[in-house]
Amino acid sequence: MGYQTIRYAEEGGIATVTLDRPEVMNALNRAMRAEITEAVMRAAATARVIVLTGTGRAFSSGQDLADPSLGADFDVGRVLAEEYEPMLRAIVAARVPVIAAVNGTAAGAGANLALAADVVIAAESASFIQAFTRIGLIPDAGGTWVLPRTVGLARAMGAALFAEKVSARQAADWGMIWEAVPDPEFEARWRARAAALAAGPGEALARVKTALRAAFGNGLDDQLALEAQLQGECGATADFREGVAAFLEKRPARFTGR
């Protein structure tokens, strides 16, 4: 499929989805949301890891407020339900790990698009801004769900109310993201991380996502039961047998994803 607002590449089990509207800091318009959704769903069916990143100086500046498709009767709730939710659910539901490689500014819905990923790796020059109150809105695109769960209520409240820039280093210190990387090392780092996941035990990685995301809604008994179920499934895979053999033979495991 040809894309107009993103670039898609797949090699070595890694699907890279690159937001490609640098002239507007990769602002999210209707076409881009649809293309991200389609690309993530496509990648989840064929790749072993998905990377979301951006071109230029921004990951994404959020909603494109100049998007002519919004019209004079712009219904924010409708756009969220019909265009943002499918995109975010595709990322969360993807059976393979999703990395957000945040190359620059991630603001508004662009910040929360990144935070929907399983792992966020940011360049040290990048930043995260819950910019919504600057235009009279509340955080959306999953922001009110993910922020208190990653950084706690006090920091989530401050980030949302003051709409101040949170540096990548600060975001890492808070636990909002996995790591902040010096700019010269950024691309090599996320590519290495993606390659490591692509070479990993795919069935186990898929179940890690399932178990950890379910933990927010489960009590202890339900979570223990889910762990036992998923671990039983992992124990029946060729990758588990290979992992045990490699451990006993003191060699690197050669996982096949099965």
Work out the average pLDDT over 62-74.
80
Report percent pLDDT > 90 for the chain.
Answer: 94
pTM of the model as a whole: 0.94
Residue 233 pLDDT greater than 70, yes or no: yes
Please tell me the predicted confidence (pLDDT) of residue 67. 82
Specify whether 94 is located in the same domain as 15. yes
Whether residue 236 lies inside any domain: the answer is: yes
Whether residue 257 lies inside any domain: the answer is: no
Please tell me the predicted confidence (pLDDT) of residue 71. 67
Tokens of 144: 């009110």
User: Domain boundary residue among 198, 216, 231?
Assistant: 198
Specify whether 49 is located in the same domain as 144. yes
Tokens of 149: 């769960």
Please tell me the predicted confidence (pLDDT) of residue 258. 83
Specify whether 184 is located in the same domain as 230. no
Specify whether 179 is located in the same domain as 236. no
Q: Determine contact, residues 48/257, Cβ cutoff 8 Å.
A: yes
Whether residue 219 lies inside any domain: the answer is: yes
Tokens of 26: 């990769």
Whether residue 63 lies inside any domain: the answer is: yes
Residue 182 pLDDT greater than 70, yes or no: yes
Quick check: helix, strand or coil at residue 10?
strand
How many domains are there within the chain?
Answer: 2
Please tell me the predicted confidence (pLDDT) of residue 72. 65
How far is Cα 97 from Cα 108, in angstroms, rounded to an integer?
23
pLDDT tens per residue across span 111-142:
999 999 999 999 999 999 999 999 999 999 99
pLDDT tens per residue across span 11-28:
999 999 999 999 999 999
Specify which residues 50 forms β-bridges with.
15, 98
Please tell me the predicted confidence (pLDDT) of residue 165. 97
Q: Crossing angle, helix 85-93 and helix 30-46, to 10 degrees?
A: 20
Specify whether 235 is located in the same domain as 217. yes
How far is Cα 28 from Cα 141, in angstroms, rounded to an integer?
12
Structural domain of 47: 6-198
